[in-house]
Structure formats: C-alpha cells, structure tokens
Amino acid sequence: MEINPSLRETIAGRYGVARAFASFDEAVPGGSTAPFDAAVICTPAPFHVPQALRLVEAGAHVLIEKPLSTSLDGIEQLQAAIDRSQRVAAIAYVLRCHPLLIAMRAALLEGRWGRPVELIATSGQHFPTYRPAYREIYYADRAKGGGAIQDALTHVMNAGEWLLGPVDRLVVDAAHQVLDGVQVEDTVHLLARHGSVLASYALNQYQAPNEFTVTVVAERGTLRCEFHLNRWRWMETPGGEWHDESMAPLERDTLFVTQAHAFLDAVEGRRAPLCSLADGLQTLRVNLAALRSLESQTWETTIADETTE
C-alpha cells in the first residue's frame, strides 16, 4: 500500500507487484479476507495495533515495525485475535538478526563467564545523514512515535532485554540538544535494572562517528559487541588481551532482508518469530516507563498499567 501514486507505480513496476493499493481500506476492506498471506506494517506507531488487528482478523500474518505502539491500547484484543486465528505476529527489532549480537548472546547463554552483572551500551550517529527527512516525518512528533527514546533507543533496549531479560525499573534523563528543526529529545541517558543486573544506556543522534558498543560484564569475564568495528570480543584475564571474532561489514539492507526471511520462516512454521508480540510489548512498556521518567525525573517500573497522554 502506497498513497503516493507515482511512487506506487514505480515500486510496483520495479518488483513486479501484481496489485498495488492506494489505501489501507482498499487493501483490507472491513470484514473481508485479505487478498494476501502476510503484511509488513510500517506506518507511524499509533496505527500499528489497529492496522495489525484488521489484518489478523482478515487472515494475514503481520510483521510490525518497531515500536509496537505508543500506548497499550488494543494490544490485548490483538493478542486475542492472534490466538483465535493462529496467525504469526512479529515485531521488527532488527538487531536480533545481527550476527555479532547473536554470537555474544549464545556465549552468555552457555554460562562460560558466569552470571552477568552489568551492561553498558553507548550509541551515536549523525542522524541527518542517515535520515535527512527527519523533520518532516513521524520523528518530529513524540505522539507519532518520534524522538530518540521511541525511535532509536528502543532498538538498544530491546537488544539489552534479549541479552539479559526484561527491564523491571529505570530512570531517564533526556533532552533536545542539537538536531535542527525538531524539539523532541535527541540525547538520552538511561539507567536500568534487568533484575539483578545493573545497566546504563547512552545515545545521541548528532555526533560525527557512527558508533555502537554493547558491553556485558560477567562474574569471570567481559564481553563486548563493537558493531561499528564489525567484531565481538571477550577478555577473561585481568589486564589480559582481548580475544576477537570479526566479520565482514554488512551491506545496508542485509539485516532487513534477514529479518524478512526469518518472518517468512515463522509464517511457514519453521521457527519462532525473532521478536514475539510479548517481547515487543515488554519493550513498549520500557518506552512508556522511560517517557514517564523523563517527566517525573524519578525511577519508574515497567510493570504498571501504562498509557501515554
């Protein structure tokens, strides 16, 4: 579905699309069966849940762009519809496809270095370079899923939860520091507890280097993913040397293609979704708690019944 006629025709021609739709209602008329097996929902976040519900009720499997939503409204109904129809729903947190993060998670699960006790994640990039239209899209409006917390940090939080389990409480400081033409936060510092594990997350959207590092300190070793250097590494001996596992740089679309294939495998029953609706809901609770903490400047839990204003 594409509302821009010229873009719709271009994409349909480029990829041999048999039928292109001009609107969501045209693609999925109310009460009808969808004329396709699966759909990717990549509209602004407030539309994700109602559109997913319509699609699931029409018989389609759904891959929902992150974040799942901007509130908890309608998610219970969506889960009930998925249970009734036995459709697959996955949330598009693409870092779960990254070979480096997959390797580090597998090492943590093996327990070679003992219990994780601390996580430190730092991320930064020059957002206008990678998303030059950021002023004109959903990003400029927090109610549409914009701002660094819901748009960028949510990826890192979901990755942290995949490594260590759910965040149960957090506190946030964030501000608009640099990005021109918007007022939403472009800098976030977040402290969290994943159960007994202490965690800190820092992100900005204006620095020159494109860098992303996740470090997990365990009882008997330290593990680190350096995504921008295409390696993960570990150190066991105090003052010793790093042991590296490197990989070739990924093409820009590699993770998205991998995610699409994983979703199709889930639709065909070959595997579980990379990020389930339940996992996406947990990270949504983190987003909402982070936004509440930004206003209250106090610790917030991710368990309470939350809605956004």
Task: Give the DSSP H or E segment for 107.
Answer: helix 99-110
Please indicate, yes or no, whether residues 142 and 46 belong to a single structural domain of this protein: no
Please indicate, yes or no, whether residues 101 and 245 belong to a single structural domain of this protein: yes
Q: How far is CA 118 from CA 63, 113, 128, 185, 228, in A?
A: 32, 13, 32, 26, 21
Please indicate, yes or no, whether residues 54 and 159 belong to a single structural domain of this protein: no
Please indicate, yes or no, whether residues 82 and 213 belong to a single structural domain of this protein: no
Domain-terminating residue out of 94, 129, 164: 94
Predicted confidence band at 304 (pLDDT cuts at 50, 70, 90)? low
Please indicate, yes or no, whether residues 84 and 114 belong to a single structural domain of this protein: no
- Strand-pair category, 38-41 with 61-65: parallel
For residue 106, the SS3 value is helix
Task: Say how many domains are in the chain.
Answer: 2
**Domain assignment present for 282:** yes
CATH number at residue 134: 3.30.360.10
**Domain assignment present for 33:** yes
Query: pLDDT tens, 218-244?
Result: 999 999 999 999 999 999 999 999 999
Task: Give the DSSP H or E segment for 232.
Answer: strand 231-235
pLDDT for the residue 308: 38
Query: pLDDT tens, 258-303?
Result: 999 999 999 999 999 999 999 999 999 999 999 999 999 999 999 7
Please indicate, yes or no, whether residues 147 and 60 belong to a single structural domain of this protein: no
CATH number at residue 40: 3.40.50.720
Domain-terminating residue out of 44, 70, 94: 94
Residue span of the structural domain in which 167 resides: 97-251+276-301
Query: pLDDT tens, 2-18?
Result: 888 999 899 899 988 88
pTM greater than 0.85: yes
Whether pLDDT at 148 is above 50? yes
> For the chain, what is the radius of gyration of the CA atoms?
20
pLDDT for the residue 242: 98
**Domain assignment present for 293:** yes
% pLDDT > 90, the chain:
87
| CB 145 within 8 Å of CB 71 | no
DSSP state of 156: H
% pLDDT > 70, the chain:
98
Whether pLDDT at 207 is above 60? yes
**Domain assignment present for 309:** no
Residue in the structure block whose two tokens are 């009720």: 57
Query: pLDDT tens, 155-187?
Result: 999 999 999 999 999 999 999 999 999 999 999
**Domain assignment present for 159:** yes
pLDDT for the residue 1: 81
| CB 148 within 8 Å of CB 188 | yes
Domain-terminating residue out of 65, 94, 123: 94
Crossing angle of the two packed helices 99-110 and 154-164, in degrees rounded to 10? 30
Predicted confidence band at 306 (pLDDT cuts at 50, 70, 90)? very low
Whether pLDDT at 192 is above 70? yes
Predicted confidence band at 34 (pLDDT cuts at 50, 70, 90)? confident
Please indicate, yes or no, whether residues 292 and 155 belong to a single structural domain of this protein: yes
Sheet with 89-92: strands ordered across: 38-41, 61-65, 89-92
Please indicate, yes or no, whether residues 116 and 146 belong to a single structural domain of this protein: yes
For residue 208, the SS3 value is strand
Predicted confidence band at 307 (pLDDT cuts at 50, 70, 90)? very low
CA 22, chain centre distance (Å): 27
Please indicate, yes or no, whether residues 39 and 110 belong to a single structural domain of this protein: no
Mean pLDDT for the chain?
95
Please indicate, yes or no, whether residues 157 and 25 belong to a single structural domain of this protein: no
Please indicate, yes or no, whether residues 242 and 184 belong to a single structural domain of this protein: yes
Average pLDDT over residues 119-132: 97
Predicted confidence band at 309 (pLDDT cuts at 50, 70, 90)? very low
- Strand-pair category, 116-126 with 197-204: parallel
Closest CA to 267 of 92, 93, 38: 38
**Domain assignment present for 20:** yes
Please indicate, yes or no, whether residues 86 and 117 belong to a single structural domain of this protein: no
**Domain assignment present for 267:** no
**Domain assignment present for 115:** yes
